[in-house]
Amino acid sequence: MPAWVLALAATALVAAVWFSFRGVRGEPSKGRRALLLGFRVLAGLLLLALLFEPGLELRAESRVRARVALLFDTSKSMKFPASPGGPSRAEELQRWSKDHAEDLGKLASRFQLDFYGFDKELQPLDLSRLPTDPQGPSTDLLGAVTGAAANGTGGRPLAGLFIASDGSDNADLGSGVPAAAVQELRKLDAPLFALPIGAAAAKDLAIEKIAVDDFAFVRNMVTVDVFVSARGFPVTDVPITLTRDGQPVAQNTVHLSGDPARGEVKLSFVPDRTGKFAFTVKAPVYEGEAITQNNQKSFVLKVIRDRVRVLLVVGRPSWDVRFLRQLLKRDPNVDLISFFILRTPGDDPHSTQDELSLIPFPTQEIFQEQLKTFDLVLFQNFNHRPYHMSQYLDGIAQYVRDGGAFAMIGGDQSFSAGDYAGTPIEEILPVTLIPPGPTTIDETPAKLILTDAGLRHPVTELSSSAAASWAKLPELPGLNTTGPLKPSGQTLLQSNQGRPVLVVGEAGRGRVLALLTDSSWYWSFVAAGESQGPRAYETFWHSAIRWLVRDPALTPMSVASERPSFEPGTEAPALDVQVRGNDYQPVPGAKLQVMVTSAEDPVPHPLGAAVAGPDGSARVALPPLAAGAYKATVTARRADGTTVGEADDAFVVAPATRELTEAAPRPDLLQAMAQATKGKVVDTGEQLSGLPWRDPALVEVGQRTSKPLWDNWKVLVLLCLVAGAEWTLRRRWGYA
């Protein structure tokens, strides 16, 4: 019944009693007035009872036992020390659970306790089996809390949550608790009490992230973006160093202020050679840091060529020069720097110097200052003597031994005719030279024959039928004469009289090529006149340049790590090796020895061995390694002990996730989460049973019965008696 009806009826009752009372106001006896009034009020009430039908409802009630979710961090970061030099965070947590056994018992007497372990996932936990060596790959605090809140057993109401963690979240809360997360936590409608573990070791400096491309171009500046974070540090400048093979290549300083502090620093350097290298970014380790492993981070960078930088030095313009220059200039992969001797000291231009376009030959600049910037140096029919270049020849030879490339192209000013016998250039050439004289040139026409070595070599691989392709090319008008071939040299092309035409070899870490003719242009223009086209010439020179500069696709022996990065301590790095000799033939049965160096330990350690299979390939598994940047050098030897070749590759051993690198304790995160739920951070000694858990608001309704109070004869009899008594008394006392 609506409340206003009740109010109206009550008002009407009061008014009726009042008006009836006015009739007996003159009664001098207070007792009679009161008695009459009492009977009338009682009669009115009984009348109302008859009108409103009041009754009693009987219900059976019992309060539900609420639940408390208790979450314990089982991620890997819990393996780090809880305090500098102290037990691990996991051990600290175990100790807490033992110390609080009685406390938890008390809490269990009031609430249903649900225990969870959490890391990347949430799972039920037996508290007596809390792991001392947690293996969770990552930490998701928000996911764990919301998951535990939703997972309640039997639909019991949530009295609250308890979380024990280092707070080192690497999911949604990595950079703080955002507003959306706060909203989500408020929706739980239950307090969260947080126990920060390892808060005493909150001081930590970390290389959080490195941003760099997978590859870079040699001689082009590379910039590495390094993101640094620090907690528990005063305002400070931190020096950051970038090293390659343990040697610093760049350094910069990052300014950190605030707590926690984040900073970014750029490290730039110019790679001077191609290959795959392991780089390490390092920050100093400060006293009292929670984790020292994250003060450095390694990465692998592949340095490639954008363009092959070729220095072409020409003793005299000729058709051979003209066609080679045209080929190199057209090649978008070649950056050609050329110097032609257009006028010798004996020439008379019949003009002043200012009427000529000639420039001085910048020997010092080219052969001393700029030499190392070139991938390949080509001497084309160039005699060094008139230009006082003897002083630079040693530097050129050293440049080659250090990994450069050199080719000498024939002519009347080249090889023995160019007076290179006995010079450092002869030392690196794959052929020996003879003293200058009339025998240094042989004008007998030379028909080309591809040798056995040439059949397999990428430089002379013109087509699937290379031997026939070479044999069809125009014969050459003559050849430079040399002495015997050096042991390291390989003749790829020879004349029909057996004289070498094309010889390749290695000098130190560099490669050399000797083309003993000044008429390779015959393979282009003259061949075109014979309806063969210039394809042979172009293919030959492109292949020769790629081989000379060690294009990875043309390297006889190669090694490649299975992946650029491996997990520390658990994963065995694997290397795939292909063994081929300098003749590009597979070497089955070659014994492989793997020597490994690291940025921290430059001393080579033998860590693997294998034997090449029938196709010259092998896979070598190294033992699991500690985190770091590594270089593996594989040496292949034949059964007789002679070396086939050597190749290397770089790889990194580092955790794949941020769990172990961004593992500093984050009590601030736990504090913010607790605040969002009107909970709080508790300390180690605080009793959980004494915390203000939330009592359940809901009751369980069982049996319900209703008993009407008016629906019986006693009420009616009572009403008649009261009304009759009131009427009788009024009549007796003289009222109408």
Task: Give the burial string for 179-211 (b: 16+ CB within 10 Å, else e).
Answer: eebeebbeebebbbbbbbbbbbbbbbbbbbbbe
118 vs 382 by CB, closer to another protein? 382
CB of 522 to another protein, least distance (A): 8
255 vs 329 by CB, closer to another protein? 329
- The rounded distance, in Å, linking the Cα atoms of 219 and 214 is 16
Residue of 17, 37, 200, 528 that binds another protein (CB under 8 A): 528
- The rounded distance, in Å, linking the Cα atoms of 615 and 620 is 15
279 vs 521 by CB, closer to another protein? 521
Residue of 243, 440, 494, 495 that binds another protein (CB under 8 A): 440
User: Per-residue x/- mask for another protein, residues 329 to 348, rule CB under 8 A?
Assistant: xx------xxxxxxxx--xx
434 class by beta-carbon count within 10 Å (0-12 exposed, 13-18 middle, 19+ buried): middle
CB of 319 to another protein, least distance (A): 5
- The rounded distance, in Å, linking the Cα atoms of 71 and 97 is 12
- With a CB cutoff of 8 Å and minimum separation 6, the contacts of 440 are 415, 416, 417, 434, 480, 481
433 class by beta-carbon count within 10 Å (0-12 exposed, 13-18 middle, 19+ buried): buried
272 vs 530 by CB, closer to another protein? 530
528 vs 621 by CB, closer to another protein? 528
- The rounded distance, in Å, linking the Cα atoms of 12 and 18 is 10
CB of 476 to another protein, least distance (A): 8
User: Does residue 73 touch another protein according to CB under 8 A?
Assistant: no
360 vs 702 by CB, closer to another protein? 360
User: Does residue 524 touch another protein according to CB under 8 A?
Assistant: yes
CB of 371 to another protein, least distance (A): 15
Determine how β-strand 222-231 pairs with β-strand 261-269: antiparallel
372 vs 638 by CB, closer to another protein? 372
CA 704 to chain centre: 65
Backbone angles phi, psi at 711, to 5 degrees: -80, 60
Residue of 109, 247, 357, 570 that binds another protein (CB under 8 A): 357
User: Does residue 530 touch another protein according to CB under 8 A?
Assistant: yes
CB of 342 to another protein, least distance (A): 6
CB of 206 to another protein, least distance (A): 47
Q: Is the peptide bond before 260 cis (omega within 30 degrees of 0)?
A: yes
- The rounded distance, in Å, linking the Cα atoms of 597 and 523 is 47
494 vs 517 by CB, closer to another protein? 517
CB of 377 to another protein, least distance (A): 16
CB of 270 to another protein, least distance (A): 20
The answer to whether 158 and 149 have CB atoms below 8 angstroms apart is yes
* Part of the chain binding another protein (CB under 8 A), chosen from 218-226, 309-317, 670-678, 704-712: 309-317
Rg (the chain; Cα; Å): 47
Residue of 62, 109, 247, 351 that binds another protein (CB under 8 A): 351
CB of 418 to another protein, least distance (A): 11
Backbone angles phi, psi at 305, to 5 degrees: -90, 135
CB of 450 to another protein, least distance (A): 22
Question: What spatial distance separates the first Cα and last Cα of the chain, rounded to whole Å?
Answer: 36
351 vs 703 by CB, closer to another protein? 351
362 vs 435 by CB, closer to another protein? 362
Residue 685: DSSP 8-state: T
CB of 483 to another protein, least distance (A): 18
Of residues 113, 108, 111, 124, the one with CA closest to residue 72: 124
- With a CB cutoff of 8 Å and minimum separation 6, the contacts of 205 are 228, 229, 230, 233, 238, 283, 284, 285, 286, 289, 294, 295
CB of 600 to another protein, least distance (A): 45
Residue of 66, 141, 526, 545 that binds another protein (CB under 8 A): 526
- What would the two tokens of residue 723 be? 């009304």
- What would the two tokens of residue 515 be? 């083309």
CB of 376 to another protein, least distance (A): 17
CB of 501 to another protein, least distance (A): 13
333 vs 444 by CB, closer to another protein? 444
The answer to whether 273 and 303 have CB atoms below 8 angstroms apart is yes
Strand partners, 193: 162, 680
- Residues 370 to 429: which contact another protein by CB under 8 A? 411-413, 417
* Part of the chain binding another protein (CB under 8 A), chosen from 2-10, 194-202, 311-319, 625-633: 311-319
CB of 525 to another protein, least distance (A): 5
The answer to whether 636 and 643 have CB atoms below 8 angstroms apart is yes
170 vs 519 by CB, closer to another protein? 519
User: Does residue 642 touch another protein according to CB under 8 A?
Assistant: no
User: Does residue 448 touch another protein according to CB under 8 A?
Assistant: no
342 vs 467 by CB, closer to another protein? 342
- The rounded distance, in Å, linking the Cα atoms of 521 and 323 is 6
Give how many residues touch another protein by CB under 8 A.
Answer: 57
| Helix or strand (DSSP H, E) at 118 | strand 112-118
- The rounded distance, in Å, linking the Cα atoms of 679 and 56 is 42
- Residues 170 to 189: which contact another protein by CB under 8 A? none
* Part of the chain binding another protein (CB under 8 A), chosen from 425-433, 514-522, 574-582, 615-623: 514-522
User: Does residue 126 touch another protein according to CB under 8 A?
Assistant: no
Residue of 61, 287, 355, 640 that binds another protein (CB under 8 A): 355
* Part of the chain binding another protein (CB under 8 A), chosen from 21-29, 178-186, 463-471, 473-481: 473-481
Residue of 296, 423, 517, 558 that binds another protein (CB under 8 A): 517
- Residues 476 to 505: which contact another protein by CB under 8 A? 476-479
CB of 417 to another protein, least distance (A): 6
The answer to whether 30 and 699 have CB atoms below 8 angstroms apart is no
- Residues 312 to 331: which contact another protein by CB under 8 A? 315-323, 325-326, 329-330
Question: Residue 550's CB: how many other CB atoms inside 10 A?
Answer: 19
Side by side, the strands of the sheet bearing 574-578 are 558-561, 574-578, 617-621
Angle in degrees, 0-180, between the axes of helices 667-676 and 179-186, rounded to the nearest 10: 50
CB of 381 to another protein, least distance (A): 8
CA 163 to chain centre: 30
User: Does residue 441 touch another protein according to CB under 8 A?
Assistant: yes
Determine how β-strand 275-282 pairs with β-strand 158-165: unpaired
Determine how β-strand 112-118 pairs with β-strand 67-73: parallel
Residue of 85, 332, 438, 487 that binds another protein (CB under 8 A): 438
CB of 249 to another protein, least distance (A): 29
Beta strands in 222-333 (DSSP E): 222-231, 236-244, 247-256, 261-269, 275-282, 296-304, 308-314
496 vs 687 by CB, closer to another protein? 496
268 vs 497 by CB, closer to another protein? 497
Angle (CA) 578-568-596 rounded to 5° is 40
Residue of 483, 534, 588, 604 that binds another protein (CB under 8 A): 534
User: Given the rule CB under 8 A, which residues bind another protein?
Assistant: 315-323, 325-326, 329-330, 337-344, 347-351, 354-359, 362, 411-413, 417, 438, 440-441, 443, 476-479, 517-519, 522, 524-526, 528-530, 533-534
